[in-house]
Structure 1
């Protein structure tokens, strides 16, 4: 199973379109928030099951604040992360995932890519395709592969 994970596109679709075309085919698409009204466009673009949650800039959105999804036998919490203080420390979002018996948490908000295992929870932040903030400021996303329930994630850059 191949999952494309993105976040913080902020209504700017050019890099997202590029990534979707380059990474296809994939089995699921996850957006960790701040789509800024582009969810219908994104769902049509990816042509596969989607999980899109709201971010702190998704004002008046009907998107869920967070979702729990199943990926190849693993339970995953998907959230933007701003309610869990991820800008300061990602341990809180990992603890929330663990408290829900999730094996992973996908989040955004910081615009900085991270893959880290915290107390048995795989914490994945794909960074931002539109406004990267990490050193070098390259747009980023994550490709997660899962085989027989074992997940492995890789940060990729444009």
Structure 2
């Protein structure tokens, strides 16, 4: 299964549409801050789309968090702003461990990360619209799941 993980598109969706066409995923997970464009993002995909509420998603009915089973992996999706991710991902990894999940997907920082330093894998796809990492290239993550194997790659436009 090929999962496209994105975040922080902030209603600037052109790069998202390009990535959908390029990657043709089986599932899309958006880690929040669509700013009201969740319907456009969902309608554009030829697969299921899961989106959580970000700190800029005012007046939205999106869920604050999701727990999904992706292959053999219990996965928690949250925007991350309620778990101090701007200061690092230690708090969100502790919470993920307490919840018994294998993978936590989050956004908010606009900086891509795949952190495998603990039992929980912490993944942030960065931002397709307003990247903040060095070089400031729009980013997303591809998660490939086969049986009990998972691999992540940070991709750039």
Question: Shorter chain as normaliser: what TM range?
Answer: over 0.9
Q: Which residue of 2 aligns with 1:121?
A: 120
State the alpha-carbon separation in 1 of the partners of residues 36 and 78 from structure 2: 17
State the alpha-carbon separation in 2 of the partners of residues 29 and 132 from structure 1: 19
State the alpha-carbon separation in 2 of the partners of residues 4 and 136 from structure 1: 22
- Which structure 2 residues correspond to residues 1-158 of structure 1 after superposition, within 5 A? 1-24=1-24, 26-158=25-157
Displacement of 1:47 in angstroms is 2.0
The number of equivalent residue pairs is: 157
* Partner SS, residue 35 of structure 1: coil
* Partner SS, residue 115 of structure 1: strand
**C-alpha deviations, 1:83-111, integer Å up to 9, x for none?**
00000010111111111111000000000
Q: Please give the root-mean-square deviation of Cα atoms over the aligned residues, in Å.
A: 0.7
State the alpha-carbon separation in 2 of the partners of residues 151 and 100 from structure 1: 20
- TM-score, scaled relative to structure 1: 0.97
**C-alpha deviations, 1:19-42, integer Å up to 9, x for none?**
110001x21100000000011111
Structure 1 runs of 4+ aligned residues shifted over 2 Å read none
**C-alpha deviations, 1:56-90, integer Å up to 9, x for none?**
00011100111000100210000000000000010
State the alpha-carbon separation in 2 of the partners of residues 121 and 105 from structure 1: 7
State the alpha-carbon separation in 2 of the partners of residues 50 and 14 from structure 1: 17
Unaligned runs of 5+ in 1: none
- TM-score, scaled relative to structure 2: 0.98
